[in-house]
Amino acid sequence: MKTNFPASFSNRLQAQMGAEASLLLEALSTDSPTSIRINTAKFHAPVQLEKVPWSTNGYYLQERPSFTLDPLIHAGAYYVQEASSMFLEEVVRQSVDHSQPLRVLDLCAAPGGKSTLLASLLSKESLLVSNEVIKSRAEVLAENLTKWGAPNVVVSNNDPRDFDRLQGFFDLIVVDAPCSGEGLFRKDPNAINEWSPDNAHLCSDRQRRILMDVWPALKPGGVLIYSTCTYNPAENEQNIQWLSQQTELEPVSLSVDAGLNIREVQAANHVVGYQFMPHLVKGEGFFVCAVRKLDGDEWQAPRKDKFPLAPTGKKEQAEVAPWLTDERDYFQHYENILAMPQGDNPAWGAVIRELRIVQAGVLVAEVKKKNLVPAPALALSTIFKKDTFPAWELDLRQALQYLRKEEWAIDREKDGWHLMCYQQLPLGWIKRIATRFNNYYPLHWRIRMELPEDLTHSFLNHHA
């Protein structure tokens, strides 16, 4: 199907790429591939699907299913992520030692594709701060990270300039910058309507402000990874070239298999970037590069620094501690009991003190009238000890009914809290009372679409 692109976009590509521009424009008129990334902390079944060649756990699907009607995605078994952007894994592997404890910031993180990737890649001693400036999108980000289940994540809702309070703090900063969206033209037709040369220019200016605002938060020797979903040099390598003129940095070159058809982009000051183009790869338009900071001072923890949250009571701690596989420290924030890494954690304290926090660590339970209500995040966490609660294994229709926040009559089990599971993966909680139960699935997460008469099990089951 022929797509009508803005003339100014086509003309710029022609000037930028020459005769090759027609190949890119032709590719942009084809269907977008669908890809997912498996959460191996939860889902171990081998899948016989086409691999994304630059991703350890990325796979292509032959067609796009109804993800909403697959309980496995709600359980955090996988994430639907565009294939090209999964290359972030390779950039991280080659630019930092991710086996060591790192303090990492994903600055423009919603809806969560790159943050879930980072959460799976980083060591369990690392701290990932996943940030989104728009409050409504920050809530979506928190939901997706909760379902992914990684315990050492803080979700924040801050402007990039707010990170000036944490100077020299982060070992790695990922800036997936808001851009003109040229790489999404075949995936999102609205991106074509919203594109204009003026908008692209405004994006470039905003990207430079974002980079300069967050640069002080990177420690000397730390790495900044910059990415966009556009082909525009003014939003890509030229921005990093500009950053190199304002700061002290060195580009990080990657070893990339030539057979992957990932285009290396070079600019002045030896800036090196990597461009994905749909006529060359099975993925969308994507640009990424990495640079290492050469100047500045590293953050030092204050000698005397009280943690900004109060420890939870001994009684509550004794009750919740057996629910987790790892030993944790427990803090209380209003009625919420939070589990965080054990020991003196000045880095966690600094983040919680200086930023506007949406969630931190694992929300284990809520205190209600001296009783503990297990939290949805507990059920979905990768450090949750499932056998501490009775579990119900649901079939597909029951699981979807539960995710729609429905209730039904029952005649089984004892009263109290029960874990609802699908294919042994936790979905959330119910509380049984006599012959019925209360559904504690979060209201703002529930499935709103009607269930069809014929339901099909997850595509992952068919390829296992």
The binding site for S-adenosyl-L-methionine consists of 108-114, 132, 159, 176
Query: Would you say 142 and 134 are in contact if contact means Cβ atoms under 8 Å apart?
Result: no
Give the total residue count for the chain. 464
Q: Which among 179, 203, 229, 289 is annotated as catalytic?
A: 229
Find, among 358, 377, 346, 362, the residue nearest to 156 by Cα.
Answer: 358
Radius of gyration of the chain (CA): 23
User: Which spans in 101-236 are helix H?
Assistant: 113-121, 135-148, 189-194, 197-214
With vertex at residue 177, the alpha carbon angle to CA 173 and CA 182, rounded to the nearest 5 degrees, is 145
The residues, any chain, with a CB within 8 Å of residue 419's CB and separated by 6 or more, are 379, 386, 389, 390, 391, 392, 426, 428, 429
Residue 181, phi-psi category: left (phi > 0), alpha (psi -120 to 50), beta (remainder): left
Q: Cis (ω within 30 of 0) for the bond into 111?
A: yes
Q: Which helix (H) or strand (E) holds 25?
A: helix 21-27
Q: In one letter, which amino acid is 438?
A: N
- Binding positions are 108-114, 132, 159, 176
DSSP state string for 126-138: -EEEEE-SSHHHH
229 catalytic per annotation: yes
CA distance 392 to 408: 14
Whole-number Cα distances in Å, 103 to 8, 318, 450? 42, 30, 43
Active site residues: 229
